[in-house]
Structure 1
Amino acid sequence: MKRRNTHRLSLDAVCCRTAQVNMASSMSFFSLSRMIYLNSVTKIFVNPARSICTSGWRLAEQQGQGSQLITVDEKLDITTLTGVPEEHIKTRKVRIFVPARNAMQSGVKNTQKWKMDFDTRERWENPLMGWASTADPLSNMVLTFSTKEDAIAFVEKNGWSYDIAEKRVPKPRVKSYGANFSWDKRTRRSAK
């Protein structure tokens, strides 16, 4: 007897849950039918599966068909728009450089991009783990640029002062296979 009552209670719970799902689907159907009715009254078709904001994009696309890009010759300063605190704008110094070749690489592939990093601020050692800690959010950020001019434009746009470390171009050395066997040059090595 108890088993039937337990089964009956779980069946009631299932029926109640099904009723909740049916009610939610009918409410969404009601709102959809209301939206379709409003569209038919105002003679504007809105696809309910799409977002309404695409109409603004289409309007901008139609207006931009015959127009050209607008270029501004004056220097842009976006420091007021970025939301960065003033202490990180006025007191920061940026270094623009080309990274040196890694000792483990023979080519110069990773030395062609310009990088920008910030000066290091106060750091301290965590007494529990021994990790280096800092309160500076910009100290570990390194940005990469394809040209030096792009990096300078970005730094000036953000209002930071900067230093540029010029790119070092290695002098090509004259190498020839015959120089290994000449007696008057110090390139010959003994076999001992």
Structure 2
Amino acid sequence: MPARIYQRPKNAMQSGRARTDDWVLDFAPAEAKKPDPLMGWAGSGDTQQQVQLNFPDCDAAKAYADKYGIEASIIATPPRRLKIQAYADNFR
């Protein structure tokens, strides 16, 4: 059961950076989702997709994966690029 370890990105809908320091371990889907014949909702019998574990740092997540024999890949966090602007630049 492969998993991925990544740092939670900043929510694009809000300006705050809450919970962006946490690292997340979640599992890759083991089977494809298929539509339910009655309701048409997408679903599968894979319960591992519902599991999402939070860790304070990458090392703790990697140690957990090693301890329980989970094959995990670490996805690096892209660097933050800040676009510094001054209010006066709007009137140039």
4+ long deviations beyond 3 Å: none
User: In structure 2, what is the equivalent of residue 20 of structure 1?
Assistant: none
The residue type paired with residue 36 of structure 2 is N
User: In structure 1, what is the equivalent of residue 4 of structure 2?
Assistant: 95
1:136 is aligned to 2:40 = no
1:104 is aligned to 2:5 = no
1:157-172 equivalences in 2 (<5 Å): 157-172=67-82
Aligned identity (percent) is: 33
TM-score (norm 1): 0.44
The residue type paired with residue 58 of structure 2 is K
Please give the secondary structure, in 2, of the residue aligned with 1:178: helix
Q: Which structure has the higher relative contact order (CA within 8 Å, separation 6+)?
A: 2
CA distance in 1: counterparts of 2:8 and 2:59, whole angstroms: 16
Pairwise CA distance, 1:130? 1.6
User: In structure 2, what is the equivalent of residue 18 of structure 1?
Assistant: none
Superposed CA deviations along residues 104-127 of structure 1, whole A, max 9, x for unmatched, are 111221322111110112222210
**Count of residues paired in the alignment:** 91
Please give the secondary structure, in 2, of the residue aligned with 1:96: strand
CA distance in 2: counterparts of 1:109 and 1:133, whole angstroms: 30
1:1-192 equivalences in 2 (<5 Å): 92-122=1-31, 123-182=33-92
Superposed CA deviations along residues 40-88 of structure 1, whole A, max 9, x for unmatched, are xxxxxxxxxxxxxxxxxxxxxxxxxxxxxxxxxxxxxxxxxxxxxxxxx
Question: Which consecutive unaligned segments of at least 5 residues does structure 1 have?
Answer: 1-91, 183-192
TM-score (norm 2): 0.85
CA distance in 2: counterparts of 1:152 and 1:110, whole angstroms: 19
| Structure whose residues are more often strand by fraction | 2
Pairwise CA distance, 1:139? 1.6
Pairwise CA distance, 1:131? 2.3
Pairwise CA distance, 1:172? 2.2
The residue type paired with residue 16 of structure 2 is G
Q: C-alpha root-mean-square deviation of aligned residues, in Å?
A: 1.5
